[in-house]
Amino acid sequence: MNKADGRDPPTPGNGWTNKDVPLMMYPQTQDGQVHLYQCHRRYIHTSHGWSRTGSACPNDAVAAASSGHKINHDDEAKVVRSLISQLSEKYYAKGWMPGTGGGMSIRIGSGTADDPFAVFSTPSGIQKEDMVGDDVFEQDIDQNVITPPITPGLKLSSMNNIWFVVYNLRPSTRCVIHTHSMYAQLATLLDPSEQSDIFQITHQEMIKGVGNHAYDSMLAIPIIDNQRSENLLAPDIEKVIQKYPKCNAVLVRRHGVYVWGDSWEEAKTRLESFDYLFETAVKMKSMGIDPGVVPKKKNADASTDTMECKENRAASKDVTIDDTIEPSKKRKRTDTELKNSKELTQTIDSEIMQYA
């Protein structure tokens, strides 16, 4: 890629939050359901996550309504199914999972004989607004279906193998989300030649949402080309993760984005931050502003001061304007300007003397 403002292009994933969110535990709610607008917050709490409900937050008035302790696999599975259904419905409503597109996956367990990994993922061929928790697939780490959906005819998503690529290459990952967001796919077209393999943006407040990034950091996300079928993307995503081991997102040209995190909350926060930045980049480009270029700053030193600032400073020092600006920019001041300047200086001196 071309260097911007003399700086080396950033490496995707550098500075991103990695493995600093403790592994999550899902609490049991009433019958494993999410009771909206009643005694619970909208989203299910994780005792080590960022939600406010649960035993991890003693100041929450409804903390007792959620349990923060470890629960058995069957109860945890119910909670995860409800969570996937709820988040998918939200993303459908936002236009990020239109039609039957997009999907998400959550992994639980520790990988031991007593607590094996279990992967829950959205099915293919169903609109996310109509999907219930029991429509979610449960698989083991070898992609064997343990519990199929309750709705007849549902199949594993064509992106199913991609979940496992991420989980295998990034062992700390607990959640992967894929959207067909309009701005995600438009962000891959900011380079008209469609040859760029990295999306870049800098000097945006929402860059902080990625984690370990500041407002003025250069955020870089790798881009891969789309394929005729979703499952064919797996080899390219694998190559990207191996090339950028700290990367937590991949854009697919003319398609969408994959985002993952060490908890569902981290993945969700990242996804929403990324989409905001994608939209920002697209709109900046339409205004003729390159989102990946460091903006020019207005320095406060004398060499870049405006004529007005220089004249004011000159007046306060009781010197002529010619003493404060470059020779090439000098202009002859009229008698009236000189008189006004001296009068202003005298007035200031007089006022200062009153408080001396």
For the stretch 28-70, pLDDT in tens is: 344 444 433 333 344 554 433 333 333 444 434 333 344 444 5
Please tell me the distance from the alpha carbon of residue 136 to that of residue 183, in angstroms, as a whole number: 27
For the record, the structure tokens of 73 come out as 């696999």
Lowest-confidence pick of 182-186, 189-193, 295-299, 303-307: 303-307
pLDDT surpassing 80 at residue 177? yes
> In the prediction, which pLDDT does 340 show?
61
Please tell me the distance from the alpha carbon of residue 247 to that of residue 261, in angstroms, as a whole number: 10
Nearest to 87 by CA among 247, 209, 269, 254: 269
Q: Tell the burial category of 58 from Cβ atoms under 10 Å away from its Cβ (0-12, 13-18, 19+).
A: exposed
207: confidence class by pLDDT, cuts 50, 70, 90: very high
pLDDT surpassing 80 at residue 14? no
Instruction: Identify the H or E element spanning 103.
Output: strand 103-108
74: confidence class by pLDDT, cuts 50, 70, 90: confident
Say if residues 120 and 156 touch (Cβ distance below 8 Å).
Answer: no
314: confidence class by pLDDT, cuts 50, 70, 90: very low
DSSP state of 90: H
Say if residues 133 and 215 touch (Cβ distance below 8 Å).
Answer: no
For the record, the structure tokens of 30 come out as 């009433």
What 284-289 contacts at long range (C-beta under 8 Å, 24+ apart), as own/partner pairs, is 285/190
Please tell me the distance from the alpha carbon of residue 322 to that of residue 309, in angstroms, as a whole number: 14
Say if residues 35 and 55 touch (Cβ distance below 8 Å).
Answer: no
Rg, C-alpha atoms of the chain: 28
With a pLDDT cut of 70, the percent of the chain lying above it is 65
Q: Tell the burial category of 20 from Cβ atoms under 10 Å away from its Cβ (0-12, 13-18, 19+).
A: exposed
Nearest to 24 by CA among 43, 53, 49: 49
> In the prediction, which pLDDT does 92 show?
96
Crossing angle for the helix pair 335-355 and 307-316, nearest 10 degrees?
Answer: 60
Lowest-confidence pick of 49-58, 167-176, 226-235, 276-285: 49-58
Residues sharing a CB contact under 8 Å with residue 45, sequence separation 6 or more, in sequence order: 27, 51, 52, 53, 54, 56, 66, 68
Catalytic residues, which ones? 205
- Max CA distance (Å), the chain: 93
pLDDT surpassing 90 at residue 6? no
Count, residues in the chain? 356
For the record, the structure tokens of 129 come out as 């607004």
Please tell me the distance from the alpha carbon of residue 263 to that of residue 198, in angstroms, as a whole number: 25
> In the prediction, which pLDDT does 299 show?
42
Say if residues 141 and 235 touch (Cβ distance below 8 Å).
Answer: no
Lowest-confidence pick of 30-39, 139-148, 230-239: 30-39
Please tell me the distance from the alpha carbon of residue 158 to that of residue 176, in angstroms, as a whole number: 14
> In the prediction, which pLDDT does 257 show?
98
Please tell me the distance from the alpha carbon of residue 270 to that of residue 275, in angstroms, as a whole number: 9
Crossing angle for the helix pair 264-286 and 73-93, nearest 10 degrees?
Answer: 10
Instruction: Identify the H or E element spanning 186.
Output: helix 182-187
User: Model pTM greater than 0.95?
Assistant: no
Say if residues 320 and 314 touch (Cβ distance below 8 Å).
Answer: yes
Say if residues 333 and 307 touch (Cβ distance below 8 Å).
Answer: no
Say if residues 142 and 160 touch (Cβ distance below 8 Å).
Answer: no
Instruction: Identify the H or E element spanning 223.
Output: strand 218-224
